[in-house]
Structure 1
């Protein structure tokens, strides 16, 4: 681990699944660096994510959270270091290899990114038809019904996005992510723009999804309460590095002023 990182025993919070840290990490980030000219965003970031674990990356606006997650899915090339996802070094993959790896990765966009001209069913089917080989004998309709039920939206197949509340759009977007049976999910500000009650509901849903589907996840967020509910471990991204990581109850009691600034 980087010397800049203060590691506070990364064990899962009680509400989340048990994580086996002796297993091979599904995500392994070592000394990751990314700059835009003189703006050094990531300055040697380190993180390991284990099977079945959800890690929340907290950071101030402009701290590099979005840059980090874009590097991990190959949307941005990083300058140096290593970003390894499911055993593949992102920086060394061809476009074909990267596209194949992405079939095992789900991405929940901050703005949900539903197609406005499609019904809920059509939004889900559009994603699934690109991965039709994953049905394993199920029909497309069965899969749509299953994932909508998983996110608490049974019976909404024929609604249009304009008929959905902000929280319902997030749930449909999560259903679209789940329908391809991803091994890893990246959450980009999953509670952004939602009221406190709906934010709490989405946070609990993320936890339920983790426990049901055994997914591994990185969640970038500014929402401390979402991290408390849904994450096994919280990482603070400060000055481009993993400044500290640990359980919510450990971090909130830290005497470090830099850490306390996130939890006031």
Structure 2
């Protein structure tokens, strides 16, 4: 995959109707662990086709937030609606139906070391019991790996891949079910600046091709500038402030400004 300077332009949201159901809507979300009150009434609405970055200090609850969205953590109260369905109150089968629309790129990539790249990509289909013929699976694996620029690594083991390649395979596994929403947890963590830029460009390519909605958890301001239409600052458990990159960069609020120093 060739990356050109044009690939790093700030994205415009995909065209959506004003009255369309939000891809994700979070209402008064609260979550505590003992006396540690992590989320204290967080609110967020993401339009279909919109990329939103969530900024916050380490331990502020960013990862807790996205784990609540996919049902890995159950909130204490509040609503999380994915295309209008409140995931908090769904049963296991209904939750799996919603999860099939959501791709989750873990910070650590979460690739299984004992499985080949191909087997790692097949895993989400097996877990969700998606029935496909071998030919269909072959095509899906090939298309997902081709979309991240790695068409020839199917039989390699994760240990033989570079950090950037592992991240790309993680993205490919996220894309295998062609999700409507992608949750990126620190997508450029641990990568050098050049590889980080390539991953940010890849995220833009994915958005353009698949018209996905995304939540991006990151401390990498360069990545956020390239990929996010809007930024929400998570501070003291609430949606403290939001706006475009330039709006928040020029903010006189000390908490907001600290992320841009």
**TM-score normalised by L of structure 2:** 0.90
1:110 aligns with 2:107: yes
Matches within 5 A, 1:1-264: 14-18=10-14, 20=16, 22=18, 23-130=20-127, 133=130, 139-264=136-261
**Residue 107 of structure 1 aligns to a residue in which SS?**
strand
Aligned residue pairs total 252
Are residues 62 and 130 of structure 1, via their aligned partners in 2, closer, same or farther at CA, if it must alter by over 3 Å? closer
**Partners of 1:44 and 1:118 in 2: CA distance:** 40
Cα distance in 2 between the residues matched to 1:71 and 1:133: 24
Shift of 1:125: 2.3
Do the aligned residues in 2 keep the contact of 1:16 with 1:230 (CA within 8 Å)? no
Question: Counterparts of 1:128 and 1:209 in 2: how far apart (Å)?
Answer: 20
Aligned equivalents of 1:54, 1:218: Cα separation in 2 = 6
Tell me, in whole angstroms, the C-alpha distance in 2 between the residues paired with 1:132 and 1:67: 27
CA distance in 2: counterparts of 1:181 and 1:62, whole angstroms: 31
Q: Is the 8 A contact 1:167 1:198 kept in 2?
A: yes
Measured after TM superposition, the shift of residue 20 of structure 1 is 3.7
- TM superposition shift of 1:135: 5.9
C-alpha distance 60-143 of structure 1, shift in aligned 2 (>3 A) = same
Q: TM-score, normalised by structure 1?
A: 0.89
Report Cα offsets for 1:46-101 as digits up to 9, x if no partner.
Answer: 10011111111011100000111111111111112211112111221112211221
Cα pair 1:134 1:180 within 8 Å, conserved: no
Q: 1:56 to 1:136 in 2, by over 3 A?
A: farther
Contact 2:203 2:227 in 1 (8 A): yes
Moved more, 89-98 or 52-61: 89-98
Shift of 1:182: 1.0
8 Å CA contact retained: 1:59, 1:236: yes
RMSD of aligned residue pairs (Cα, Å):
2.0
Work out the CA distance in 1 between the residues paired with 2:131 and 2:247. 40
Check 1:68–1:254 CA distance in 2 against 1; reply closer, same or farther (3 A cut).
same
SS of the residue corresponding to residue 26 of structure 2 reads strand
